[in-house]
């Protein structure tokens, strides 16, 4: 396999897990480009930065000169594009950074790839996106697939949808060998504590209230981050340029189901008679909160032989142990700006 993989957002939750997997499984060289926003943390990959196979560049995908320069300095054969503003709640509070990073940043990368890639060769521009671009499903609707219409509801989802459309236009207009993946909710190690699974694990462990939006019956299709990264590696190496693949966990569960499962794991781990479910507090629902997402991943299963390996109930005990065992990292990520964010959103703990 020749060339360098440019991994944007590789110091984030999924990007960091992906860099680890790609290094182990695909033996590639990578340049990780990440601005280290509040969500980025080099601690996720710093043990991999010995200079030989992974180079880290702190920089912003909104800077077209920097992005072009990276393509000029390296023979980039694949772009795995994770970098984004990702938290729906923050997109409701302030959508501007979502627009500039998720849309304009993506355009900068597409333009740099278009200028640098004279022949397709083994080139791939993999745009990592979300199932939230498809909006909400009713309880009886068929799951999303590659032909689902776009109906984004949150500012976050709208910016990801815009980027998906732009990627599509660059592949159809300029012939860029681009692939889009739309994936469901991820959980696993190294996720920022603002997201539901780590938030609930840490609050339950610390005996703090467990804030649940509305009735908590919003259904998501939960996918272990390692399964997602395996799917992305399969798409990056064997996927067909020009295609879209939806990726899901075959695990439709309500938020409340997941919270209950986490509480039970925490209680078992503590083993002192704690009943964490008593800490659940229903708070005002998120505006425009989608009721259900679900994924029909038959295409990637058929074409690339990928299937999720984890089910949430079986995987969550290890995930809970990971957060409890990595309190140093967790506390560092939760310090500073996050304290203020948490208090504004949920009040004092």
The answer to whether 245 contacts ligand NAD (rule: CB under 6 A) is no
Residue (196 or 304) nearer to ligand NAD, CB: 196
Rounded least distance, CB 233 to ligand NAD, Å: 14
Burial class (CB in 10 A: 0-12, 13-18, 19+), 281: exposed
Give residue for tokens 């599509």: 168
CB 226 within 8 A of CB 191: no
The answer to whether 148 contacts ligand NAD (rule: CB under 6 A) is no
The Cα–Cα gap between 206 and 74 comes to 46
Q: C-alpha angle with apex 345: 340 to 347, nearest 5 degrees? A: 80
Rounded least distance, CB 297 to ligand NAD, Å: 13
Q: Which residue from 20, 123, 160, 334 is in contact with ligand NAD, where contact means CB under 6 A?
A: 160
**DSSP-derived 3-state class of residue 118:** coil
The answer to whether 185 contacts ligand NAD (rule: CB under 6 A) is yes
Choosing from 41, 132, 194, 264, the catalytic residue is 132
The answer to whether 101 contacts ligand NAD (rule: CB under 6 A) is yes
Task: Select the span of 28-36, 165-173, 199-207, 326-334 touching ligand NAD (CB under 6 A).
Answer: 28-36
Q: C-alpha angle with apex 290: 265 to 134, nearest 5 degrees? A: 110
> Phi, psi at residue 49, to the nearest 5°?
-95, 65
Residue (62 or 279) nearer to ligand NAD, CB: 62
Closest CA to 300 of 238, 220, 222, 225: 238
Build a one-symbol-per-residue string for 54-93: x at contacts with ligand NAD by CB under 6 A, - elsewhere.
------xxx-------------------xxxxx-------
Residue (83 or 263) nearer to ligand NAD, CB: 83
- The answer to whether residue 132 is catalytic is yes
Rounded least distance, CB 183 to ligand NAD, Å: 4
User: Which pair of tokens denotes residue 121?
Assistant: 């060769």
- The answer to whether residue 150 is catalytic is no
Burial class (CB in 10 A: 0-12, 13-18, 19+), 325: exposed
Closest CA to 163 of 185, 182, 145: 182
The answer to whether 49 contacts ligand NAD (rule: CB under 6 A) is no
Residues in region 197-236 near ligand NAD by CB under 6 A:
none
Q: Which residues pair with 126 in a beta bridge?
A: 80, 179
Residue of minimal Cβ distance to ligand NAD: 12
Q: Which residues are catalytic?
A: 131-132, 156
- Would you tell me which residues interact with ligand NAD (CB under 6 A)? 8-9, 11-15, 34-37, 39-40, 60-62, 82-86, 101, 105, 128-130, 160, 183, 185-186, 192
């Amino acid at each position: 396999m020749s060339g360098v993989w440019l991994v944007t957002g590789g110091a984030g939750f999924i990007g960091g897990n992906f860099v680890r997997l790609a290094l182990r499984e695909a033996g590639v060289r990578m340049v990780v480009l990440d601005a280290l926003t509040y969500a980025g943390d080099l601690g996720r990959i710093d043990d991999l930065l010995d200079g030989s196979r992974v180079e880290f560049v702190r920089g912003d995908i909104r800077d077209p000169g920097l992005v072009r320069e990276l393509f000029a300095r390296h023979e980039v054969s694949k772009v795995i594009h994770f970098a984004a503003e990702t938290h729906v709640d923050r997109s409701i509070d302030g959508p501007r950074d979502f627009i500039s990073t998720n849309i304009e940043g993506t355009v900068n990368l597409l333009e740099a790839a278009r200028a640098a890639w004279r022949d397709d060769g083994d080139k791939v521009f993999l745009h990592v996106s979300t199932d939230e671009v498809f909006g909400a499903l009713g309880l009886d609707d068929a799951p999303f697939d590659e032909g689902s219409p776009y109906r984004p509801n949150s500012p976050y989802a709208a910016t990801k949808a815009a980027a998906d459309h732009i990627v599509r236009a660059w592949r159809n207009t300029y012939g860029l060998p681009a692939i889009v993946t739309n994936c469901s909710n991820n959980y696993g190690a190294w996720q920022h504590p603002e997201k539901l699974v780590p938030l609930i694990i840490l609050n339950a462990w610390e005996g703090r209230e467990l804030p649940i939006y509305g009735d908590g019956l919003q259904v998501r299709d939960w996918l272990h981050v390692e399964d997602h990264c395996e799917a992305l590696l399969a798409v990056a190496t064997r996927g067909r340029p020009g295609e879209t693949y939806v990726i899901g966990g075959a695990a439709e569960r309500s938020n409340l189901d997941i919270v209950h499962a986490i509480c039970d794991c925490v209680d078992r781990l503590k083993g002192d008679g704690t009943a964490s479910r008593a800490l659940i507090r229903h708070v005002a629902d998120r505006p425009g909160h989608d009721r259900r997402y679900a994924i029909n991943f038959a295409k990637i299963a058929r074409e690339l032989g990928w299937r999720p390996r984890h089910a949430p109930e079986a995987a969550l005990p290890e995930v809970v142990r990971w957060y409890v065992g990595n309190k140093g990292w967790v506390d560092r990520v939760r310090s500073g700006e996050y304290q203020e964010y948490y208090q504004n959103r949920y009040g004092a703990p």
